[in-house]
Chain A
Amino acid sequence: MTQDVRTLAVTVEGGKLSVRTYGDPSKPTVLLVHGYPDTQAVWDGVVSELVDDFHVVTYDTRGIGASKGPLFKHGYTLELLADDLYAVADVVAPDRPVHLVGHDWGSIQAWEAVTRADSAERFLSYTSISGPCLDHAALWTRAGMRKPTPKAAARSLKQALASWYIVVFHLPVGPRVAWRLGLAKQWPRIIRAIEGTRLDPSPTLHRDGSRGVLYYRANMLPKMRHPEERPTTVPVQVLTPTGDRFVTPALAAQAPAPWTERLYVRKVHGGHWIVVKKPALIAERIREFVQSSIATPGGPEPVRSLLRAEAKQGTKDRPEFEDKLVVITGAGSGIGRATALAFAEKGADIVVADIDAVAAARTVELVELLGARGYPYTVDVSSGEAMEAFANDVKATAGVPDIVVNNAGIGMSGSFLATEVKDWEKILGVNVWGVIHGARCFGEMMRERGEGGHIVNLASAAAYTPSRTLSAYSTSKAAVLMLSECLRAEFARYGIGVSAICPGFIATNITRTTKFVGQSAEQQERTRQRITGLYRRRNFGPDKVAERIVDAVRRDKPVVPVALEAKAGKAISRLSPALARRMAKIDPTG
């Protein structure tokens, strides 16, 4: 922790708050409010991430930690808690508004504060983590009950089940005594067991846990019984941890929508105590929001994921992939180009990579015809260095992608003994190493960003359909299929989905460029023409594969065989491998 920390006490009605400030007071102020049963120490990790750029302030809320407060529940109404928050802000930043961040009960208090009439003069922005405005939540629940569609009922039920502890806290005596009698001692173990988060127990935890119960008792029932309409003009960012056991994403995202002018709802991968577990991630989300033009007049354009997170009115008309960034290799033709167009049509911006600069530029032109933004790149996917440079450039220019389609691939056909070492190197380089590099470079970025994502790898029906004429190609595609399955298992914990697409005979220019080993140039040309004709008559276009790719991303599908022959091949490989082996002996190119 930085040595810049200063401690001060702020006297408020019925109590005295222990406040800590960090960093240069001339920098923009970020005020962090902790939740239950934590103290301001819960922010330590986030503070050290933010302190270089901001004047950071934390405090123990009334009656908690080093702060003093009344002994009875009337002293803990949200009215008073919001007064405290204003009082702290007035002391640490007397002449200018601050950026507010709240977690759990701190978020509930902060909502109360930013929904006051004059809040825009005190707060530039508000980032809410895992704590709804109680009035918004009550109104949202009521709206759900007025229109009890099965979906709305399920949502409300889910949230009600997650709120079991609130009921427990209203039981007389028991919960408070439990904190005193050893719950405090067990608390870190419980949290580690259910959340996987290591908390440093505060020495005052037994008292805080017990005292905090008064927060619930003073506010829950009155707010649920008589919710007020509490709008705000302060821009609000709601971070919804995907694994939150106490606040469901539905509540966090939907409840504030009618009451906010500018609302940004962003998923963060983690549990309820994500502020402790992933402080760098939370600090980054705060920084992105606070520094953008949304919260700071004259600031830079918001990052892509913020733009995407904006909850607009009439969200139903919004294109499905608006503001998403899709990276596609081999996007200069065939399935890659069709996929670029399919995503562009649904609102995404596209990074178009191809080894052929002219083809990539052309795809960008088409992407732009559909009203999306395209970024052309000329890349050889088989080169690790080139891919690394490419990925870094993409990150700098367009941002971290949300979807990566490792599509680039080449064809090769002929007998194994005629396939030379350089042929093998070539096909494994593009078809296997290309996918490895793509998944490695961009997967790392996605993991770091913590918002999840999706990786699509183009395998082939050849991955599970043996053929005497496709040893090299099938081997490369089998590798892609297995790599995808393994990655899927590994990346699930980061919220990154992985899909393998296994197309059959798709009419693309792969047949015009396939190398038929062991054939003379003239023979090759004839074979190519014949196979191209066969594929054309099969009449299964790349646009149909593209639709399946979009669908695979939408539904996070593991393995997607495309076209009848691919499905049949899969069935045969499972039901009768012997039949598959017999079919493998046929030479369709001969």
Chain B
Amino acid sequence: MSAGHSALTLDAVSNKTGPTPEALQRHRDAQALAYRCAETVGAGLEAGVTEREVARRMRGFLRENGVEDFFHIPFAWFGERTAFRSLKGPWTPLHFFPTNKRLKEGMSYVLDCSPVVDGYVSDIGYAGVLGKPGDNRIFDALMRDLAQYRTLILDRIKAGDTLSEVYAAVDVLIAQQGYESRHKVYPGSVIGHQVGRMTQRRNMGRYAFGFGLRTLETLGREIVTEGIKGRSPLWAGGRASRHAPTPGLWAVEPHIGFRNVGVKFEELLVVTEDDAFWLDDDLPHVRRWQEQARTAEPVLEGAPS
């Protein structure tokens, strides 16, 4: 999407109840910063580094760039943990926290961070592999196929589907591709959640269970207020998501896996009363797919028509 087109869309948004163009720009900046963080830290990874060290590097990068708070603490997962699999037993929510697992050549990794800049939240996910293309064929295939979810989700939202219908459509695509849903492992099995601006200053920089206290407060409040309207700020497959998305910003994070490799993207989707669009198209994974389309890789078979 060109900048000019974005500007037009933003005007359209400003007429609705959603965020103002200025607010969208601030969210976009926060998201760009978060992706810059992931790309920079990702490019600097070396064999032997631990998840904890990488999470620390992300936090350092963001703090240096003026971030005062996080929606949730930065996460880093390596190897089988990118597919939310523990080699030593069942996966529990505690397993999301960074560990001392070390990165190896050819291993996949996922970085997930959510800087809050002046109250404007972003939440991103970035998947990569230590090495060059071809070193991890499963990763390459997953990453290539992940592109379809970005298109599918936007198309279905624009078509007016409910969140739970989109969730089910994502499940069908995952089954067709022969992968597994890994976002179903997230708390509440969510594929996305609403974000907005956090204005209160209280509890800044405090965290519980990896999430900012402000996040939990906001989320808690939203679950109650939205619940009254029969809507949920959390996007999952159940009854609570049987409604069209609430206008505003949604962090969408399809996470797919195959055997011991998982990939995801996470970015902000803008939903208005009658339209929807991705907040920004100038993102690493989108550029990667555009590049692949240019070099004319064969179209994936098994894709839904």
Collect the chain A residues with CB atoms within 8 Å of residue B301's CB. Answer: 358, 361-362, 365
Beta-carbon nearest neighbor of B140 in chain A: A369
Contact B302 A536 (CB under 8 A): no
Q: Does A370 contact B (CB under 8 A)?
A: yes
Contact B237 A365 (CB under 8 A): no
Using known A-B contacts A345-B259, A369-B258, A536-B237, determine if residue A362 contacts B137 with beta carbons closer than 8 Å: no
In the assembled complex, the Cα of A42 lies from the Cα of B263 at a distance in Å of 64
Question: Within the complex, what minimum Cβ distance (angstroms) separates B65 from chain A?
Answer: 38
Q: Does A125 contact B (CB under 8 A)?
A: no
In the assembled complex, the Cα of A472 lies from the Cα of B171 at a distance in Å of 29
Contact B137 A369 (CB under 8 A): yes
Q: Does B290 contact A (CB under 8 A)?
A: no
Using known A-B contacts A345-B259, A358-B302, A361-B302, determine if residue A366 contacts B237 with beta carbons closer than 8 Å: no
Contact A363 B178 (CB under 8 A): yes
Collect the chain A residues with CB atoms within 8 Å of residue B258's CB. Answer: 366, 369
Residue among B177, B237, B259, B301 with the highest chain A CB neighbour number at 10 A: B301
Question: Within the complex, what minimum Cβ distance (angstroms) separates B297 from chain A?
Answer: 13
How would residues 173 to 205 of chain B score, 1 for a CB under 8 Å from any chain A CB and 0 otherwise?
A: 001111010000000000000000000000000
Q: Does B141 contact A (CB under 8 A)?
A: yes
Which of A359, A363, A369, A512 is in CB contact (< 8 Å) with B138? A369
Contact A333 B175 (CB under 8 A): yes
Q: Does A515 contact B (CB under 8 A)?
A: no
How would residues 328 to 352 of chain A score, 1 for a CB under 8 Å from any chain B CB and 0 otherwise?
A: 0000010001000100010000000
In the assembled complex, the Cα of A533 lies from the Cα of B236 at a distance in Å of 13
How would residues 276 to 297 of chain B score, 1 for a CB under 8 Å from any chain A CB and 0 otherwise?
A: 0000000000000000000000
Collect the chain A residues with CB atoms within 8 Å of residue B137's CB. Answer: 369
Contact A362 B302 (CB under 8 A): yes
Collect the chain A residues with CB atoms within 8 Å of residue B177's CB. Answer: 362
Collect the chain A residues with CB atoms within 8 Å of residue B171's CB. Answer: 536
In the assembled complex, the Cα of A337 lies from the Cα of B176 at a distance in Å of 10
Question: Within the complex, what minimum Cβ distance (angstroms) separates B169 from chain A?
Answer: 12
Question: Within the complex, what minimum Cβ distance (angstroms) separates A516 from chain B?
Answer: 18
A478-529 contacts to B (CB < 8 Å): 508-509, 512, 529
How would residues 523 to 558 of chain A score, 1 for a CB under 8 Å from any chain B CB and 0 otherwise?
A: 000000100110010000101000000000000000
In the assembled complex, the Cα of A280 lies from the Cα of B302 at a distance in Å of 45
Contact B259 A365 (CB under 8 A): no
Contact A370 B259 (CB under 8 A): yes
In the assembled complex, the Cα of A203 lies from the Cα of B97 at a distance in Å of 83
In the assembled complex, the Cα of A223 lies from the Cα of B100 at a distance in Å of 59
In the assembled complex, the Cα of A370 lies from the Cα of B137 at a distance in Å of 9
Collect the chain A residues with CB atoms within 8 Å of residue B172's CB. Answer: 509, 512
Collect the chain A residues with CB atoms within 8 Å of residue B176's CB. Answer: 333, 359, 362
Collect the chain A residues with CB atoms within 8 Å of residue B180's CB. Answer: 541, 543
Contact A337 B237 (CB under 8 A): no
Question: Within the complex, what minimum Cβ distance (angstroms) separates B161 from chain A?
Answer: 13
Collect the chain A residues with CB atoms within 8 Å of residue B259's CB. Answer: 341, 345, 370
Contact A362 B237 (CB under 8 A): no
How would residues 371 to 385 of chain A score, 1 for a CB under 8 Å from any chain B CB and 0 otherwise?
A: 000000000000000
Contact A359 B302 (CB under 8 A): yes
Collect the chain A residues with CB atoms within 8 Å of residue B302's CB. Answer: 358-359, 361-362, 365
Question: Within the complex, what minimum Cβ distance (angstroms) separates B159 from chain A?
Answer: 17
Using known A-B contacts A345-B259, A369-B258, A370-B259, determine if residue A509 contacts B175 with beta carbons closer than 8 Å: yes
In the assembled complex, the Cα of A340 lies from the Cα of B260 at a distance in Å of 17
A533-585 contacts to B (CB < 8 Å): 533, 536, 541, 543
In the assembled complex, the Cα of A351 lies from the Cα of B243 at a distance in Å of 43
Collect the chain A residues with CB atoms within 8 Å of residue B178's CB. Answer: 337, 341, 362-363, 366
In the assembled complex, the Cα of A536 lies from the Cα of B141 at a distance in Å of 26
How would residues 248 to 261 of chain B score, 1 for a CB under 8 Å from any chain A CB and 0 otherwise?
A: 00000000001100
In the assembled complex, the Cα of A272 lies from the Cα of B223 at a distance in Å of 76
Beta-carbon nearest neighbor of A541 in chain B: B180
Collect the chain B residues with CB atoms within 8 Å of residue A345's CB. Answer: 259
In the assembled complex, the Cα of A560 lies from the Cα of B47 at a distance in Å of 44
Collect the chain B residues with CB atoms within 8 Å of residue A341's CB. Answer: 178, 259
Collect the chain B residues with CB atoms within 8 Å of residue A365's CB. Answer: 141, 301-302
Question: Within the complex, what minimum Cβ distance (angstroms) separates B121 from chain A?
Answer: 30
Residue among A345, A365, A512 with the highest chain B CB neighbour number at 10 A: A365
Collect the chain B residues with CB atoms within 8 Å of residue A369's CB. Answer: 137-138, 141, 258
Beta-carbon nearest neighbor of B304 in chain A: A358
B132-153 contacts to A (CB < 8 Å): 137-138, 141
Question: Within the complex, what minimum Cβ distance (angstroms) separates A522 from chain B?
Answer: 16
Beta-carbon nearest neighbor of A340 in chain B: B178
In the assembled complex, the Cα of A358 lies from the Cα of B137 at a distance in Å of 21
Question: Within the complex, what minimum Cβ distance (angstroms) separates B85 from chain A?
Answer: 12
In the assembled complex, the Cα of A512 lies from the Cα of B180 at a distance in Å of 17
In the assembled complex, the Cα of A205 lies from the Cα of B58 at a distance in Å of 87
Beta-carbon nearest neighbor of B177 in chain A: A362
Question: Within the complex, what minimum Cβ distance (angstroms) separates B172 from chain A?
Answer: 8
Question: Within the complex, what minimum Cβ distance (angstroms) separates A336 from chain B?
Answer: 11
Question: Within the complex, what minimum Cβ distance (angstroms) separates A162 from chain B?
Answer: 44
Collect the chain B residues with CB atoms within 8 Å of residue A359's CB. Answer: 176, 302
In the assembled complex, the Cα of A362 lies from the Cα of B300 at a distance in Å of 9
In the assembled complex, the Cα of A512 lies from the Cα of B168 at a distance in Å of 11
In the assembled complex, the Cα of A532 lies from the Cα of B175 at a distance in Å of 13
How would residues 201 to 232 of chain B score, 1 for a CB under 8 Å from any chain A CB and 0 otherwise?
A: 00000000000000000000000000000000
In the assembled complex, the Cα of A508 lies from the Cα of B178 at a distance in Å of 11
A270-317 contacts to B (CB < 8 Å): none
In the assembled complex, the Cα of A543 lies from the Cα of B141 at a distance in Å of 20
In the assembled complex, the Cα of A345 lies from the Cα of B260 at a distance in Å of 12
Beta-carbon nearest neighbor of A367 in chain B: B178
Collect the chain B residues with CB atoms within 8 Å of residue A533's CB. Answer: 237
Question: Within the complex, what minimum Cβ distance (angstroms) separates A588 from chain B?
Answer: 19
Question: Within the complex, what minimum Cβ distance (angstroms) separates A210 from chain B?
Answer: 64
Question: Within the complex, what minimum Cβ distance (angstroms) separates A402 from chain B?
Answer: 23
Collect the chain B residues with CB atoms within 8 Å of residue A543's CB. Answer: 180
In the assembled complex, the Cα of A337 lies from the Cα of B178 at a distance in Å of 8
Collect the chain B residues with CB atoms within 8 Å of residue A370's CB. Answer: 259
In the assembled complex, the Cα of A363 lies from the Cα of B302 at a distance in Å of 9
In the assembled complex, the Cα of A509 lies from the Cα of B304 at a distance in Å of 15
8 contacts between A and B (CB under 8 A): A345-B259, A358-B301, A362-B302, A365-B141, A365-B301, A366-B178, A369-B141, A529-B168
Contacts A341-B178, A509-B175 known; 9 new A-B pairs at CB < 8 A: A333-B175, A333-B176, A341-B259, A358-B302, A361-B301, A365-B302, A369-B141, A533-B237, A536-B237
10 closest A-B pairs (Cβ-Cβ)? A362-B302, A366-B178, A361-B301, A369-B138, A369-B141, A369-B137, A358-B302, A337-B178, A358-B301, A362-B301
A-contacting residues of B (Cβ < 8 Å)? 137-138, 141, 168, 171-172, 175-178, 180, 237, 258-259, 301-302
B-contacting residues of A (Cβ < 8 Å)? 333, 337, 341, 345, 358-359, 361-363, 365-366, 369-370, 508-509, 512, 529, 532-533, 536, 541, 543
